[in-house]
Structure 1
Amino acid sequence: MVYDHEKLAKALLDKTKQKILASISSEEKTIKQIAESLEEEPSRLYYHVKQLKDLDLIKISRSENLNNLTQNYYLSNTEKSVNLTFDGTLAKDSAILLSQKINEIYTKGFSVLNKEFKREASKESSNVEVTVTSLSLTKKQWKAVNDNIRQILNNIYDEIEEDQHEEPNEEFEYLFLTYKREI
């Protein structure tokens, strides 16, 4: 599937859509059940669920016919991993939501890092790694490095989909922020 990165980014950064995805990440639910778990009215979720389905982020896992009505059960399309790059217009148009998401990821990361400091984790048992690098590159080299990082992540996504029968995966969050340093 070819993704519309702008629509996908906006959907993944939307708080309501994030809550819906979390609600059906491991258990199929009807819109009514999703609404109950989020303490929302079902009518407020139909639009969000349709958008998530159109973006292939959720799927209908099964349907039941009840009194001439079709009841759909939704499940997060967790086997689909999405790698988004925010630059140019997409970054500008999503600036507030993107800033909130970056802050959320970093806040969670700092929390894990602080726990690791307190428990004096060894390199092997640690649940966090921090890498800070400054390089002197041409713009062309910088773009090539970014493309290589994205390609590595895409290759990992492909491996994850192929290895679904292996032991359960733990979730790791990655956030790469790269920019031209101002002197």
Structure 2
Amino acid sequence: HIFATGPQVLYYPIFAFCAVAAVFAYRLSNSRIGRAWNAMREDESVAEATGVSTVNYKLLAFALGATTGCLSGALFAVQLGSVFPGSFDVFVSITVLAVIILGGMGSIPGVILGAIVLIGLPELLREFVEYRVLVYGGVLVAMMLLRPEGLIPNRNRQRELHEADSGEEQETVDGDLMPQRGTS
């Protein structure tokens, strides 16, 4: 039926929107715009010195983020049928943040995997509804301790985290081996 109702009707439009958004974000990250955004993230003044118009790229990032959020919100409202402030409780925000952290910040495949895990987890634990927040918190804490870069980390973020870890270890090794002045 073309005018059928129910949650299954929106499956294909939402899936198509997510697929288009993921491909667009991936292609954008490997483009000139994505490289400019990465340069701005690393050091805004250096990016500006190399000719990146930081104001224009910030406005573009804001506009693309707002457009994606607007389209996502429209699909969310169509799925719910009506939207009230109660539709956006703290748990929704925590879930979105948890998906990004669990999957890997800056990693599109990681965010997709994080969404599958954290949206599928309540379905697996349906009998334990009262412990859902506790399980979410436990998963997040375990992820931050065991794999802080996420399930599928962004290559740049993973390299930064491992460089920071090896730099700290190097300082302690060098600090122990350096002779003290005035002790010999």
TM-score range, shorter chain: under 0.3
Q: Which has the higher helix share?
A: 2
Q: Which has the higher strand share?
A: 1
TM-score normalized by structure 1?
Answer: 0.24
Greater Cα radius of gyration, structure 1 or 2 = 2
TM-score normalized by structure 2?
Answer: 0.23
